[in-house]
């Protein structure tokens, strides 16, 4: 199974840090978030990785190159100066992701999730990892009922970790679109499975959360 890391976002809430550094290259105790994720993926047997790039994408290319220094093989999906959002970015990268199910993970999370436990085959079109709602997102995103993702409460937060079938995107023709509405529509049809992760997880979306990580771990 191939993996994709979403790294094309502008990181508006992280400004001014992200005016000069792509958000996935921000560091926790000296290690860029992106390096840590790649190391985790390689350890889980997911070393064939696609990274989408837009804002300051050249900085990511210069930092990682082919990925050999992290024992990975990295291909890049270019999106131009502005990102295609989460759904559009994945759809653009489909030719690089192969024929089978593939993993997608947000490039700005810090987690101890065991990627090796993700399913290699899907009983539907997607499989999502959910976590408890953080203080900054108390309403959550999706419910989880008997291993199925639902759109009803109580809701948990989507961890930015999912396994997808390319057929999930087969009806989309627009270039730029978010992933969440597509997942909600697909969940409504009963085609999304899920699991809950009770371990470490942080959406490193603001300077305050980045600082808290550097102080706590």
Give the per-residue pLDDT at 17: 62
Using CA atoms, how far apart are residues 77 and 159, in angstroms rounded to an integer? 22
> Which token pair is 214?
């550097």
* pLDDT tens digits, one per residue of 90-124: 999 999 998 899 999 999 999 999 999 999 999 99
Distance CA 159, CA 161 (A): 5
Q: Which two tokens stand for residue 13?
A: 């809430």
> DSSP letters of 124-144?
SSEEEEEEPPPTT-TT-SBEE
pLDDT below 50 — which residues of the chain? none
Asked if residue 158 lies in contact with residue 130, where contact means CB atoms within 8 angstroms, the answer is yes
Provide the pLDDT for residue 195. Answer: 98
Report how far residue 194's alpha carbon sits from residue 129's, in angstroms, rounded to the nearest whole number: 6
pLDDT at position 60: 95
DSSP symbol at 156: B
Q: What is the pLDDT of residues 169-187, one digit of tens each?
A: 998 888 899 999 999 999 9
Burial of 59 per CB tally in 10 Å (0-12, 13-18, 19+)? middle
Q: What is the value of pTM for the model shown?
A: 0.95
**pLDDT reported for residue 112:** 97
Domains (ranges, CATH) in the chain?
A: 3-216 (3.90.550.10)
Residue 14 is predicted with a pLDDT of 63
pLDDT at position 56 is: 85
Q: Note whether 100 and 1 are within 8 A (CB).
A: yes
Residue 2: predicted pLDDT = 98
């Amino acid at each position: 199974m191939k993996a994709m890391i979403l790294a094309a976002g502008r990181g508006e809430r992280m400004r001014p840090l992200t005016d000069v550094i792509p958000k996935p290259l921000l560091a926790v105790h000296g290690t860029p978030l992106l390096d840590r994720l790649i190391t985790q993926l390689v350890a889980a047997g997911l070393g064939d990785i696609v990274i989408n790039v837009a804002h300051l994408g050249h900085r990511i290319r210069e930092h990682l190159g082919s990925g050999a220094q992290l024992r990975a093989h990295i291909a890049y999906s270019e999106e131009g100066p502005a990102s295609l959002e989460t759904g559009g970015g994945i759809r653009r990268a489909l030719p690089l992701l192969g024929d089978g199910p593939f993993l997608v993970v947000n490039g700005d999370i810090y987690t101890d999730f065991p990627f090796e436990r993700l399913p290699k085959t899907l009983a539907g079109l997607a499989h999502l990892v959910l976590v408890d709602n953080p203080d900054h997102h108390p309403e959550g995103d999706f419910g989880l009922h008997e291993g199925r993702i639902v759109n009803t409460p109580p809701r948990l937060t989507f961890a930015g970790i999912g396994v997808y079938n390319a057929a999930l995107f087969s009806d989309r023709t627009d270039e730029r679109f978010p992933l969440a509405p597509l997942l909600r529509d697909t969940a409504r049809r009963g085609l999304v499975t899920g699991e809950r992760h009770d371990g470490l997880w942080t959406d490193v979306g603001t300077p305050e959360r980045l600082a808290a990580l550097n102080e706590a771990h």
